Amino acid sequence: MSRKKISLIGAGNIGGELAALIARKELGDVVLFDIPEKEGVAKGKALDLSQNGAVLGYDAKITGTSSWAEVAGSDVVIITAGVPRKAGMSRDDLLGINLKIIRSVGENLKKAAPDAFVIVVSNPLDAMVYELKRVTGFSGKKVVGMAGVLDSARFQLFLAEEMGVSVKDVRPMVLGGHGDTMVPVTSNCTVNGIPVTQLVAADKLAAIVDRTRNGGGEIVKLMGTSAFYAPASAAVLMAEAYLKDLKRLVACAAYLDGEYGYKDLYMGVPVVIGAGGVEKVVTIALTGDEKAMLEKSAAAVKELIEASKKL
């Protein structure tokens, strides 16, 4: 059996970290793709990471390129192409710039890797993944957005720190759009089965929900660009679930066709990822408040999608 091929469209901060993680986990061979002006960066990172394999002892062929021919036949494609946020920018501010980029990536991807499982990371996430599906015409099962795993991880960390327990014991889920309206679900969040609402005071919980919603912005403010370690790990978790048919139940931006009462929309919901891609959208019970927050979040995503259609 030959190795799997994983192409990374965008060889910037997240792209580089994705390549490093995928190589270390030996998930397959890696193609780091970027625009011709950045081909040197893609090739340089590929060479550095290949040499890293000699030190750490992993086997993965890592190639840097600006040619779509190298992406052909990929099993998994992870898209980070685009510009990241600068301080003071919202994810939505990126719409005009990144929309053009995702459209050109989609046109090329359609020809190069029609059978790939595609994970979109570029922001504003929900609008970008919607556009990628629209341009390629790929099935919603094979095009998914990375947001929920990252947002849930942020929620998980802040809760673990507040309670003084291991992050491993906190089971969180963040749904909705990947923006200020995201919905950290407190009603079903547990610490090894104990409802978090029994362990954290309501005011503290509300502050943690708020910090989670601004989790990306907090990092942009500190370092002037957006996060890359945790976003890369989150996308790799999803890629691994697909490649190894792990049936992971995680929150992802998934194509909704009536689930939760929404149609023709991408938004963060619990899904099962396995060899079939997004094998199932899982419907869970939410409180009235959470449903209202999800509705608000869906409205924000719809607004972005409508704005995209005009651009």
Binding site for ligand APR (CB under 6 A): 9-15, 33-35, 38, 80-85, 94, 98, 101, 104-105, 121-123, 225-226, 228, 231
Question: Could you tell me the sign of the dihedral formed by the alpha carbons of 41, 95, 146, 212, in that order?
Answer: positive
Residue nearest to ligand APR (CB): 12
Closest approach, Cβ 235 to ligand APR, in A, equals 9
CB of 69 to ligand APR, least distance (A): 14
Phi, psi at 12, each rounded to 5°: -85, -145
Of 12 and 179, which has the nearer Cβ to ligand APR? 12
Alpha-carbon torsion angle 16, 178, 105, 79, nearest 10:
30
CA distance linking residue 63 with residue 68, whole number of Å: 12
Q: Which is nearer to ligand APR, 30 or 196 (CB)?
A: 30
| 292 CA to centre of own chain | 24
Q: Which two tokens stand for residue 256?
A: 């909704």
Closest CA to 43 of 59, 31, 60: 31
Which of 14/27 has CB closer to ligand APR? 14
Cβ neighbors of 289 (< 8 A, separation 6 or more) are: none
Nearest to 21 by CA among 34, 8, 36: 8
Nearest-approach distance from CB 124 to ligand APR, in angstroms: 8
Does the annotation mark 80 as catalytic? no
Q: How far is the CB of 275 from ligand APR (least distance, A)?
A: 26
Tokens of 155: 């929620």
**Considering beta carbons, is residue 104 or 283 the nearer one to ligand APR?**
104
Among the options 38, 45, 91, 178, which is catalytic? 178
Give dist(CA 80, CA 45) in Å, integer: 15
Catalytic residues: 178
